Amino acid sequence: MEIHPLGAIHTKKDFFIHLLTITVGILIALSLEGLITWNHHRALVREARTNLAIEISTNRKTMETYLQDILNHEKELRMVASTMRELQQKKDVPANLDMHVTFHTFDSAAWHAANTSGAVAYMGYDELQHYTDIYDGQYAFQALQTEALRNTADLTSRLQLMAPRRTQLLRKDLKTWPAERFEEIERRAEEELLATKLLEALATTTLEAYGRISPQP
């Protein structure tokens, strides 16, 4: 901001007029600058909210799909555990012990953009905390999802059902396994079931947090 003299000063009156003029000019300039900055910040936050709402709406649909996958996987794990108990008693093997694993990714580009642009600095504390909780929960869910995928692959490998063409042969062989082998698989299935229950709880909590964000801000 530059200040230019208005003319020569000959009297005290001229001095005070000049001083008043300069002061008013500075105040107006500062007010305009502040208004422009304020409007810029509002636009920044408004754009961030729009992008976050769209992103969260997409992630919510993904989470709803995955929650159903989790519930189905829990049924499979219960079947594995109960089957191992039956096999310890040399009972017949059920027709199907296959497990299905799904992996879903969740978007976070809008959240990263809001942080990079500085939009989050102009949000209210409660609003910012809510977004932070959502994405922290989302990151935690993805980490648990990755761990669950490894555990399921390990359990499936132990069941030796990863090669469908060998399934019929293995069903006969399973009856010859020692009880300790069944107990180990049962234990792992029960452990994975507990971990999957945690995944279910986190998915439900995250969905509730998603639901508090309007898809059309």
**Enclosing H/E stretch for 201:** helix 179-211
Query: What are the C-alpha distances in Å from 208 to residues 60, 68, 148, 152, 215?
Result: 9, 15, 22, 27, 14
Residue-level pLDDT at 160? 62
Between the CA atoms of 32, 37, 39 and 40, what dihedral angle is there, to the nearest 10 degrees? 140
Domain assignments of the chain as residue spans, ordered by start? 12-92+103-211
pLDDT value at position 200?
92
Model pLDDT, residue 162:
36
Residue 71 pLDDT: 92
Residue 61 confidence (pLDDT): 92
Residue ranges, the chain, pLDDT below 70: 1-41, 91-96, 159-175, 214-217
What is the amino acid identity at position 84? M
Q: How far apart are CA 13 and CA 16, in angstroms?
A: 5
